[in-house]
Each structure stands twice: as structure tokens, then as C-alpha cells.
């Protein structure tokens, strides 16, 4: 299980990075799903379920950029504050006993 935890930790950090790139205050499950598309194990599971990863990525990016625009915070980068994990995102971190992903 340690390799899975490291993989999940990397995905959580990437999800926070996706939110940060968009100046969004919160990292959501949509950000996490977007990061899991790039995770080798998660992508294999999704492909086994006949998920079109390219279409999924396109749909999620479109959703994040349009439907989550209310999460954009002006000046967030100026204040040098990373996005905060949403409640559901934090529960995942707790469940898997991961280190603080806000680093």
C-alpha cells in the first residue's frame, strides 16, 4: 500500500497545483479527478471501464474553467497563498493518512 499512498499523495499535490494555476481558492474533487487522469494506476482503471481519457480531460477542464469560476480569487498569487482543500478533498487526505498536501 505505500506505493499507492505515494501515488495518491502526488495526485493530491497535482490537484492543488491545478487549482493554483487557475487562481482558485479551493481544490475540489474535479481537480483531483483531473490529476488522476495522469496517474498511471488510476488511468488504467478508467480505461478498463471504457473511459475516454481525452474526452474526460476536456470535459473536466471545461467544467473547472466555467462552472467553478466562482472559486477564482483576485490577488491570490500576490498574497502567495495556495488553494485550500475543499471539505471532501480534505476527507480523502485524512482517510489515506496523507501528509499535509498544502506544501
pLDDT per position as a tens digit, 11-26:
888 998 898 888 888 8
Does 101 map to a domain? no
Domain containing residue 54: 2-95
Q: What CATH number is attached to the domain comprising 32?
A: 1.10.1780.10
Q: Does residue 20 lie in a domain region?
A: yes
* 2 has pLDDT over 50: no
What would the DSSP string read from start to end of 28-73?
-HHHHHHHHTTSHHHHHHHHHTT--HHHHHHHHHHHHHHHTGGGB-
Q: pLDDT tens digits for 55-91? A: 999 999 999 988 888 888 765 444 555 565 665 566 5
Whole-number pLDDT of residue 44: 95
**Number of folded domains that form the chain:** 1
Residue 95 corresponds to which cell in the numbers above? 482517510
Q: Is the pLDDT of residue 101 over 60?
A: no
Amino acid at each position: 500500500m505505500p506505493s499507492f499512498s505515494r501515488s495518491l499523495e502526488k495526485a493530491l499535490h497535482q490537484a492543488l497545483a491545478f487549482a493554483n494555476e487557475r487562481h482558485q481558492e479551493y481544490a475540489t474533487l474535479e481537480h483531483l479527478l483531473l490529476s488522476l487522469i495522469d496517474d498511471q494506476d488510476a488511468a488504467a482503471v478508467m480505461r478498463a471501464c471504457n473511459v475516454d481519457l481525452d474526452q474526460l480531460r476536456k470535459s473536466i477542464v471545461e467544467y473547472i474553467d466555467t462552472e467553478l469560476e466562482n472559486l477564482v480569487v483576485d490577488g491570490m498569487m500576490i498574497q502567495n497563498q495556495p488553494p485550500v482543500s475543499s471539505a471532501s478533498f480534505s476527507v480523502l487526505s485524512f482517510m489515506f493518512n496523507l501528509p499535509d498536501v498544502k506544501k
